[in-house]
Structure 1
Amino acid sequence: MPEKKNLVPFPRSAKKRKQLLRQAESLKLRRLTRLRSFVGWLLVASIILFGAVNFTMFSPSSLRQTFHILTSALGPNSGRDGVIEYPSGSASTVKPVGSALAVQGDEALHILQLGDITQQEISLSYASPVLETNDNYILTYDRGAYDLAFHSTLAELFTLKLSAPIRNASIGSGDSFVVITDETGYKSTVTVYGASSREEDHHLWRWRTPDYYVQDAVLSPSGTHLCAMTYQQNGAQLETILQFFDLDADQVRASVNLGSVVGYAVHWLDDSNVAVVTDQSAFTVSRRGQTTSQTDYTATDLLGFAFDDDNFVLAQRSWSGDARASITRYDKSGASRATLNLPSAPESISYAGGQLGVLTSSGLYVYNNALEPDWKCTSGGAAQRVMLTDDGGAWLLYSKYAQRVTKSSTLSEDFTDDTVPV
C-alpha cells in the first residue's frame, strides 16, 4: 500500500490563517506576523494622513493639470521652441523655474509651461512685488512691507507675515532663502528660512547687527554658508564690507573691506569663493577672507555682468580696433579666461550652462564657454531681454510674451566669426 502523505490542512479563510500564524509555536513566526500586521496598518494610516494633508492634489482640476503636464513633457515637442503669452497681457517680472516660467503680473503670479499649461495661479495683493526663483522653488515678497510666500513648482509651501519690513531677499539653490529686514533697534537683521525648518516661523538662522546696513545676502550652493554685502559709514564715505558666516554659528567667520565702492551684486561661484561686482571693480573673495583678484573699470564703462557656476562675465565698453564692447569670462579665482569683442554694445546678456547669450538689435547670438560662436536666432532682435537656461536653451522676453528657442529650433542656425552681431 502506498504511504499516506503527512498533510497539514490550511484554512481557506485569510482571517483563520492569520489566527493560526498568531498562535504558532515558533516565537519568531509570531513576532513576524505581528510586525507584518503593524507595518500594514502603519501604511494605511500614512496613506490616509497624506491624502488628508494634500487633498487638493487629488481634486479633478489638479489631476487634469498633472495629466496635461506629463503629456506635454513626454510629447514630441517637449523642451523645444514655443511661445508663452503673459496671462494679464503684461508682466513686471519673468524668471525661469525649472522648465517653466514664473510670470509676475499686477495681481497674480503664474507658473506656466509651454503648451498653454498653467501649473499654478497665485493671487497676490503686494504693493511692490518681487520674485526670486531657482530650479524648483519660487519666493515672492512685498518689498517695504511684511508679507512673503514660498512655493514649489506645484504647490504653496508656506506664507509668512514678518514683524519688520522686508528690505531685500534672495533664494538659495535648494529649499531655503535669505530675508533682510529693518528691525527696530538694529540697522539690519538677516534671517535664513527653509521648508525643512522645524520652527513655527520656518527660520533656520538669524543675525542681527547694530553696526552694518546689509544690502544683499546670499547662500552658498550647499546652503551651509552665507555672504552678506554690508556697508558702513566711515567719516564722509561709505565702505562696502563683505561678511562671511557658517550657519552652524552666529559669529562672523571672516570680514573683507572692499573700500568706498557701491556694491551691485554678490554671487557664490562655489562653496568657497564669491564674485562681487561694484561700480568701480569686480572682486573674487574666498570665504576665509582673502581677496584673490580685483578687476578695475570706470562706472560708465560697465555695461553688464552675469554669473554661472565657477565663472562670471563682465561686459564693458571697448575702443580696441573696430570693437565698441567686450565681454570677458573670469574663473572662480578671478583669472581672465576668454574675451569676446563686439562691434556694438549688447542689449542684454545671460550666462548659464557654460554658454553666453548676447542679445543685440540683430538678434540673439550664443557662444560656448570659450566664447566661440555656437548658434544664433536673428528673429529675436526685438526682444527686450534674454535668459539662458542650463539645458542650453534660451527664453527671449517681449512685452506681452516669452519665446523659447534652442539650437535645434527652426528659428535658429549655426554662425561663425563672419556673422558676428552688428
Structure 2
Amino acid sequence: MKWLYSIVVLAGVPVMEGSAKDAYTGDVDFLLREFEARAGGLMAVKKIDWQAVSQEYRAAARETQTDVEHLKLVARLVGELRDGHAGIIKSTVKWPDESLGRRYTGPRVSLLAVRDRVLVRGAFKDAAAAGLHAGQEVLRMDGLPARQWLDERVRVMQERGQGFSTPQMALYMASHWGLADWAGTQIDFEIRDADGQVREIARVRNGGPNYAAIGPLFAPEDLQYVGRQAYGRTPEGLGYLHLRDVPANLPIQLQEMLAKIGDVPGMILDMRANGGGGCDHAAVFAKFLAKGQSWRGYTAAYDDGYTGPLVVIVDAGVRSAGETVAGMFKEDGRAYMIGESATAGMSSQKQEITTPSGWFTVRFSVASNMGRFNEGRGIEGIGVVPHETVLPDAKDLLEEKDTLIARAVQLLQQGFPEGVVAYPAKR
C-alpha cells in the first residue's frame, strides 16, 4: 500500500524563485490553519500537539528550496494528522521516480507485535522454504531490534504521507505493508526457533503485492467463497464466516452463505483484515435476526436470518466500513467481540481542500463516523474495542492453530460472560 505513490501527476509547474518561496510558505500555513479549524476535534482525540507541529512545519517551509521538497514536506504534514484516510489526492508536482524500473513488493512475510515481542505471523512460498514459520520470534531486522525496526518503518511511512489513525493501526501496517520495498532489495531476519536456536535468514523481496494483510492464516479447512468472502464450518460444527471487504451486495452474499452453512449452534464472524467498502448496514444486521424480528432499530423484514449466538473477531486490520459493520454487532448487543486489539480507528467523514498555489488537493477526516460508539466518542482515532482482548499465542502459531478462532469456539460452546450480550440468541 504505497499511498503516496497514488498521487495523480497532472503537470510540472515552473515558477519564479520569489513566487515559489511564497507558495511554499503559503501552502503550509494554509494547511496548518485549515487542518486545525476542520479537524481540531479529532486532533484532541488523538492527542496531537498541533502548536508544536505548526512551529516545526512553518520553519521547514521557510527552508524549502524546490517544488519536490515542497511536495515531500506537504506529504509529511498530512502524515501528522494521524489519519488513515488522509492523503494528497491530486498534485501538479511529480513525486521522484525511485523505482528504477523495479516493482514494489514484499518478502512474503508478515509480522505480529505481541507485547514486547515480535513474532512471525505468516511466511509464504520461498520465505517458508528459507526457514521462516509462523510463531518464530524475530529478534532483529537489518541489524536493529525488531520492534525498533517496526517503529522506524512507521516513521518512514508517515513521512511519505501515509497516515495512521491509531497506534495499533500503525504497528499493524508496519508489520505488513511496512516490510515492502523495491524488488531485489534484501531484508535480514534474526529469529529464534521453538527450540531456542537463533539463526539468521536473509530474504530478497520478490513477487507481487504479497505484503497485504489477509486476515486469519489458519482458518477452518475446506472453506467456500462468495466474492472475497469465505464460509464454512469449524471441526466442532460451528458456522464460520470471514468477511474480507464490505461490498454493496454484502447482504445478498450473507444470505447465500448463511443458507449454505445451514443450521448451526453458533457462528463466528471473522472480520480480520477487512479493508472496508460500503453497504446497507441495517440490511447486514438483519441477516442475524429472525424474519419479522426487530432489535434496537433493526428489522428483518423479508428473510429469516441466523438467530444463534455470534462471536465477532477483529484486529487492527479492520478498517473504515469494516469497523462500522463489526462494531454495530457489539454496540447493539448482538454479538460478543474478541480481538488481538481494537480495530484501526479510521472511520470518518472527510473533506477535500486545495492549497492556495493550486498544486495540491488533500483529503482528510473532519469527524468520526458512528459517533454513538465508544460511549459517544465515535471510532476515528480510537477503533472498535473488543469485549475481550485475545493475543495470538506463539505456540499456537507454530502448530498452525488460530488462537482467536479457538477462543471463539470455546465461547460458543461454554457461553458468554453474563450480562455482556443482550440479544436473546436461540441455540
Q: TM-score range by the shorter chain?
A: under 0.3
Larger CA Rg, structure 1 vs 2:
1
Bigger fraction of residues in strand: 1
TM-score of the pair, normalised by structure 2: 0.24
TM-score of the pair, normalised by structure 1: 0.24
